[in-house]
Structure 1
Amino acid sequence: MASPTSRVGQQFGNYRLERLLGRGGFAEVYLGRHQRLAREAAIKVLHTYLSDREVEEFQREAQIIAALDHPHIVRILDFDVQQGVPFLVMDYLPNGTLRQRHPKGERVPLPTVVSYVAQVASALQYAHEQRLIHRDIKPENMLVGRRNEIVLSDFGIAAIAHSTSSMTEQVSAGTAPYMAPEQIQAQARAASDQYALAIVAYEWLGGERPFEGTSIEIFAKHLMIPPPSLRQKAPSLPVEVEQVILTALEKDPGQRFRQIQAFARALTDASQRGQQPNHVLLQASPSLPVAAPLPPSASNTPVAPPSQKTVAEQPLPPAAPASHASVTTPQTAITASTDFLPPPAKTPARQLSRRTVLIGLGVGTGGLAGAGVLWWMNRPRSSDTTGTASTPAQPAPLYTYGGHTIDSINIVAWSPDGKRIASGAPDSDDTVQVWDASNGAHPFIYHGHTGAIITVAWSPDSKRIASGGGLSDRTVHVWDAANAAHPFIYRGHVQQINAVAWSPDGQHIASAAGTALDKPPDKTVHVWDAANGGHVFTYQGHTSYVNTVAWSPDGKRIASGGSDSTVHVWDAANGGHVFIYHEHTSHVIKVAWSPDGKRIASASWDNTIQVWNAANGGIVLVYTRHTGYINAMAWSPDGKYIASGGDDNTIHIWNATTGTPVLSYQGHTRRVQGIAWSPDSKRIVSCGDDKWVKVWDVFGVLPNRAG
């Protein structure tokens, strides 16, 4: 690593480095001056040298970060790699950081803290909706803008460095006093940023951080010890404010606020109106019915948003060789339950043994990135006796398919004849794989795309597959499902293909495109001839990019959901006769029609799945049991159940009429990306970010299925 002042006078890109502004664990920041325009910028030079492979990954990640456009996020103006050293060019903000404005030990007035939290939470909410996690929230990374606004920095470090193997250890380590328990366990998520921001707010209000000591001592306290009373440090602080802070500091991320902006709003409410804690913490919209009411005792209890109960999980099989598909039969438990509600009182944090903490922290093995964390991430999970049903049903896990060569599997689709499954993967894999649904055997691989596979759909007769590509591909391929022969390519979109859907008669395809970093959002759905790609018409009703599209069972209507938080239902013949469903508050990720065509289910990053009348948008129920973003959702072909999964690593199966939860499946160790039912509604295939495609049997376990 170069010494802190050795780069002064050097030139990076068009900028000459004039003086050192600061340095941290990941980078040095210099004041740079453009050689032709004489403009000043902050140049962040990372402490690493990248291989050729890492250069490509850095450039891809940096391009994503540079696309962030928010008033409370520092703009990245340029980026490059110079002699193996990556650097970022950012807006220069000369007013320093909030650490400089409020040195350690200084208490900050409550109204000021509320303002700071609201601005930072606004930036983080935006980033989370782009599926980016900061991972290093602290006062040093909060800059003061030219108009005294707060601007969050170091997204470039937190996201870009995390993607390069040479810096993974440093980023995993993070900044100990602000790290959430799950981040210490190398499982950072959006809720980890909320925890860190709550630590910062605690420090400002109380004059000191809740946990001090050596790094190992701090990590152990994050994992095991509740934070000390904030009001003992600041007796004049309203109890409502303390309760909001402590909720955001829950050990279990599922017990924190569902979104970071909800934390900021609750803090604002508590400071301004002195509400009771239970009023501050309510997250449900009063205009929407919930799937199942809380018990009477819960209405007066200051609990965080509900999380589903824990079920037993056995170790997953070892990773399969990249050269061929593997089929395994993990012993994964699925717990049947009719009660997913949290206990009326706040659940105590799970107590960890000293041995578990030391192993999890990797003591003696180089810290968080050592063998201890690898063990922690892959450890068997014991059953939580407070969370499981007393006599859980045990449907049979059938097998695990491991044919892809990358950890993240985007999509799965079951053929309508029930005989085969198709799965698609991104990045270096870039394949669609088709295999025997009964045992995972006889796979063949479609290599036609030039980039990530985002979406896959079978034709109604199971003879063809349509697959959509990512940013480096931007096409839809239609090909023979038996042997990948005779493909034709639809090139009508100029951006990533987010969704494809066949008409029930197999004659047409609807495709929806997303965003591209080099072009404005597409915002359209194309309807075209499935035989030759002939364009029929384009639907242009959305105001942001479209994430999902589904054809009604009778073929007369199409439902499309987008990042404008709406679902549009329109005439499949010409795009007319539109009505718009407005009840979501964030990106709509999936839509599905009930098999009888009378209802639509829509899944959103507002952490709800809403079921509503397909004719007029009247709400039937709202399912709110997931504790993270929802990425996948499918209606069973028999119409009785909906399966949903997401960033909480679980799949819920619940009654499509009442919203009553039935099963929770925890066979995946990372977020769930795709779900599909078998045509007979007896099996489910699921995929996610843990490499594995899992096929499991629910027949005989779901109500009215036994026998």
Structure 2
Amino acid sequence: MSSPHIFCSYCGFANDPGMEHCHRCSQPLFGKISNNSVPQLSIPRSRLSRRTILWGVAAGTAALSTGGYLVYRRLTDPSLLTSHLLTYAENQGGIVGGVLDVAWSPDGRRVASVAGVDDGAVQIWNATTGEKLSTCKLEQPVPGGLPTLSVMGPADGKRVVWSADGKYILAFVGPLEKPIVQVWNAANGQRVRSFPVTQLLTLPANGDGGDQLRVTAWALNARYLAVAKQFVLSGKPFVEVWDIAAGSKISTLDPTSPDPGASSRQCHRITWAPDEKNVVLGCSTEKGEDFEIWDVTSGKSISAFKKGDTTTMTAWSPDGKFLAAGTVAYDVETGHKVTTYSVEWTPFSLAWSPDGKRVAVASYRGERYWVPTYGYLSVFDASSGKQLAQYDQGRVDIAVSGMGLIAWSPNGKYLLVLNGHIDLWRMEQR
């Protein structure tokens, strides 16, 4: 049998026998109360009630304090938190694995997602609970679903973005034959306006014998839409930049190949800089891959650098000074390599944290014929390339178009990863 405890008359804490002062509040243990001193019926009723109340208050206070402390630790101590918090949008539009793009609201409270179903409807979610808040639908749904590229690949174009003030959502919707940028009120999901962009996929005027155009990449931000096109026969690429509000083209970019002997060149990646005025074009030939940075308002090339191996990932640092191409970070001004991030399996997407101190990479492996079925999420120190953490995503849905796309929350505490659905991860600080 355990030794009787002595309860403090000030805070109710249970102290070991022989203690002169309370271990919790340091008050003198006057009127020592043993846990074996159970009140008897002969004790006056008023005294029994007083002591019982004191014991109840003390026990309740201790329980509340302990419970509150444990809740506090679970909310603040990374070692007690599960890195993967929840999964949502699993059956968007009635189709499993349909989410193609996602974007955080500027305040980090909501998430907008778009799927390859529902003719381009955008869903708005509570970011940390997964509760669906509203649905933004097309005023007149356009048959044919969302735009798809002629060359399929991971994270193949930014489809949905928020306005800087968080009041509106913009999405690139409709088939390639008749695409539009639609704007909704984020508070109620009501359509505000629609902007027909252009007929992105065109045929020669005579219908035969001419050179046909195809769309190979696009990128949307809150002001502009950039669309990469290529002539099928000649292989010549160019990029059109459209002002969304005006619905007019502001410039045409003409990327030139650094390899004069290359027979064909394709721009398969467009990524907007943080200032939303510059873009990087990722283009490739049979001799390798290169990147060009352009000022979209002037239509002039700012800088270019070449990367030997093929990649489809490009990501800007928040300050716009560095560019990740694949798992290598380059200095934008000089074009020199500054950091390499070593990743297991095949990387699909990379993103800087909002403070620029960390980099997250989603990578996948396949079981047969390299169909991606198992995922990993790695976090690196952005400047040194040292791996800080690695998370096992487990088995994932096959959804090539949006697979592996990463989106950091504005405060850098959470990460969204698309695997057909939306996975919310808590990013541990190390």
Under TM normalisation by the shorter chain, which class is it? 0.5 to 0.7
Against the structure 1 CA distance between its residues 657 and 418, is the aligned structure 2 distance closer, same or farther, given a 3 Å change threshold?
same
Match of 1:625 in 2: 343
Aligned 1:432-447 pairs, distance under 5 A: 432-441=122-131, 442-447=133-138
In structure 2, what is the Cα distance between the partners aligned to 1:467 and 1:668?
Answer: 30
1:401 to 85, 89, 94: 89
Displacement after TM superposition at 1:678 (Å): 0.6
Against the structure 1 CA distance between its residues 429 and 624, is the aligned structure 2 distance closer, same or farther, given a 3 Å change threshold?
farther
In structure 1, what is the Cα distance between the partners aligned to 2:229 and 2:342?
Answer: 26
Match of 1:451 in 2: 145
Match of 1:664 in 2: 390
Displacement after TM superposition at 1:470 (Å): 8.1
Count of matched residue pairs: 298
Against the structure 1 CA distance between its residues 465 and 632, is the aligned structure 2 distance closer, same or farther, given a 3 Å change threshold?
farther
1:274-313 CA deviation, whole Å, 9 max, x = no partner? Answer: xxxxxxxxxxxxxxxxxxxxxxxxxxxxxxxxxxxxxxxx
In structure 2, what is the Cα distance between the partners aligned to 1:432 and 1:514?
Answer: 26
Q: Return the letter of the residue paired with 1:567.
A: F
Match of 2:412 in 1: 681
Q: Aligned pair 1:616/2:337, yes or no?
A: no
Against the structure 1 CA distance between its residues 555 and 675, is the aligned structure 2 distance closer, same or farther, given a 3 Å change threshold?
closer
Q: Aligned pair 1:488/2:195, yes or no?
A: yes
Aligned 1:91-240 pairs, distance under 5 A: none
Match of 1:68 in 2: none
In structure 2, what is the Cα distance between the partners aligned to 1:548 and 1:425?
Answer: 20
TM-score between both structures, scaled by the size of structure 2: 0.61
In structure 2, what is the Cα distance between the partners aligned to 1:509 and 1:651?
Answer: 31
Displacement after TM superposition at 1:652 (Å): 1.6
What are the ranges of 5 or more consecutive residues in structure 1 without an aligned counterpart? 1-335, 337-390, 604-608
Match of 1:32 in 2: none
Richer in helix (by share): 1
What are the ranges of 5 or more consecutive residues in structure 2 without an aligned counterpart? 1-77, 148-156, 202-213, 258-264, 366-374
Does the aligned pair in 1 maintain the 2:181–2:244 contact within 8 Å?
A: no
Structure possessing the higher radius of gyration over alpha carbons: 2
Against the structure 1 CA distance between its residues 393 and 406, is the aligned structure 2 distance closer, same or farther, given a 3 Å change threshold?
closer
Displacement after TM superposition at 1:537 (Å): 0.4
Against the structure 1 CA distance between its residues 492 and 471, is the aligned structure 2 distance closer, same or farther, given a 3 Å change threshold?
closer
1:496-539 CA deviation, whole Å, 9 max, x = no partner? Answer: 4733232xxx5x314233679x8876833322222122110011
Q: Aligned pair 1:513/2:256, yes or no?
A: no
- Root-mean-square deviation (CA), in Å? 3.1
Higher RCO (CA < 8 A, seq sep 6+): 2
Q: Aligned pair 1:594/2:317, yes or no?
A: yes
Does the aligned pair in 2 maintain the 1:476–1:497 contact within 8 Å?
A: no
Against the structure 1 CA distance between its residues 556 and 488, is the aligned structure 2 distance closer, same or farther, given a 3 Å change threshold?
closer
In structure 2, what is the Cα distance between the partners aligned to 1:472 and 1:576?
Answer: 27
In structure 2, what is the Cα distance between the partners aligned to 1:446 and 1:633?
Answer: 30
TM-score between both structures, scaled by the size of structure 1: 0.38
Richer in strand (by share): 2
Against the structure 1 CA distance between its residues 446 and 470, is the aligned structure 2 distance closer, same or farther, given a 3 Å change threshold?
closer
1:527 to 230, 234, 241: 241
Against the structure 1 CA distance between its residues 590 and 493, is the aligned structure 2 distance closer, same or farther, given a 3 Å change threshold?
farther
Aligned 1:211-610 pairs, distance under 5 A: 394-395=82-83, 397-404=85-92, 405-426=95-116, 430-441=120-131, 442-447=133-138, 448=141, 450-452=144-146, 455-458=158-161, 459-468=163-172, 473=177, 475-482=179-186, 483-485=189-191, 486-491=193-198, 493-494=200-201, 495-496=214-215, 498-502=217-221, 506=222, 508-513=223-228, 523-541=237-255, 544-564=265-285, 565-586=289-310, 588-603=311-326, 609-610=327-328
Against the structure 1 CA distance between its residues 621 and 660, is the aligned structure 2 distance closer, same or farther, given a 3 Å change threshold?
same
1:347-375 CA deviation, whole Å, 9 max, x = no partner? Answer: xxxxxxxxxxxxxxxxxxxxxxxxxxxxx
